[in-house]
Amino acid sequence: MDEPNELWSLKGQQALVSGASRGIGLAITETLAERGAEVWMMARDEDRLTVAAESLRRRGHRVQAVAGDVANPDDRARALSALGNRLDILVNNAGFNVRKPALEYRSEEVAAILQTNLHAAFELARAAWPRLKASGRASIVNVSSVAGLTHLRTGVPYAMSKAALNQMTRNLAVEWAGDGIRVNAVAPWYIDTPLAAQVLTNPDFKSAVLARTPMRRIGKPEEVAATVAFLCLPAAGYLTGQVIAVDGGFTINGF
């Protein structure tokens, strides 16, 4: 049987986190590194990514930066090539949204949302499969949203992408279990990030969010990151195919 410290450690493991330069992705990177993993950070904004990586290194964390757009096949290939032949943890975190009523979307906006939030995660997971299988103890965590579980005001294409990401999580968990790859997802509600701040600065909107949240507060990036890290730990070794809402009780809040 594993010693307790081994169950709760990621020492010796190698991780790749997309959308890692800020917000939830940056918090995930730091939390995985604190548990002992070497983390490869991927994001489009090279300047912001470099600053974030250097800040983590100054605190003693083992992180590497690889700039690129996860929606670009060449950038995905380049990131995986930098890792070598083994990957223990893949966190599909990159995503974005365009908020508007369904009838106002342009087709290219819908395509871009689905490409980044869903298709890129699927293709990165498929491309990473040989390295994940070589690990023998690999974990994929997809960062979804409660928008994939229930109606929100976030917009239909975003919700579509996250609902499909949840089902992708379940299907891959079953299909790849025999390869030693666990696949789970986290589904956050409103979290205190730069992206969420765009709408939470509206006091009426924020009040409505808090009214629907039993814990009566906005979530913290590190709370999402802690759940992601747990799913990657040996302690969670029998947990796969799950979509865990990190939402302060929002999704179970009836009347």
Say if strands 14-18 and 38-43 run parallel, antiparallel, or are unpaired: parallel
pLDDT at residue number 218: 97
pLDDT at residue number 173: 98
Q: How far apart are CA 248 and CA 255, in angstroms?
A: 16
Give the pLDDT band (50/70/90) at residue 2.
Answer: low
Question: How confident is the model over 166-184, as a mean pLDDT?
Answer: 98
Which residue in 105, 158, 190, 238 is the catalytic one? 158
Is residue 158 annotated as a catalytic residue, yes or no? yes
Look up the pTM and report it. Answer: 0.96
Question: How confident is the model over 172-187, as a mean pLDDT?
Answer: 98
**Average pLDDT taken over every residue of the chain:** 96
Task: Tell me the pLDDT tens digit for each residue of 50-108.
Answer: 999 999 999 999 999 999 999 999 999 999 999 989 999 999 999 999 999 999 999 99
DSSP state of 118: I
pLDDT at residue number 255: 76
Say if strands 63-67 and 38-43 run parallel, antiparallel, or are unpaired: parallel
| The residue type at 216 | R
Looking at the chain, list the stretches that DSSP marks H as alpha helix, in order from N- to C-terminal side: 4-7, 23-34, 46-58, 73-83, 107-114, 120-135, 156-175, 194-200, 203-211, 221-232
pLDDT at 153 over 90: no
Give the pLDDT band (50/70/90) at residue 3.
Answer: low
Tokens read off for 117: 């939030």
Give the pLDDT band (50/70/90) at residue 198.
Answer: confident
pLDDT at residue number 1: 46
pLDDT at 4 over 90: no
Alpha-carbon distances of 105 from 58, 97, 110, 159, rounded to whole Å: 43, 11, 7, 14
Give the pLDDT band (50/70/90) at residue 154.
Answer: confident
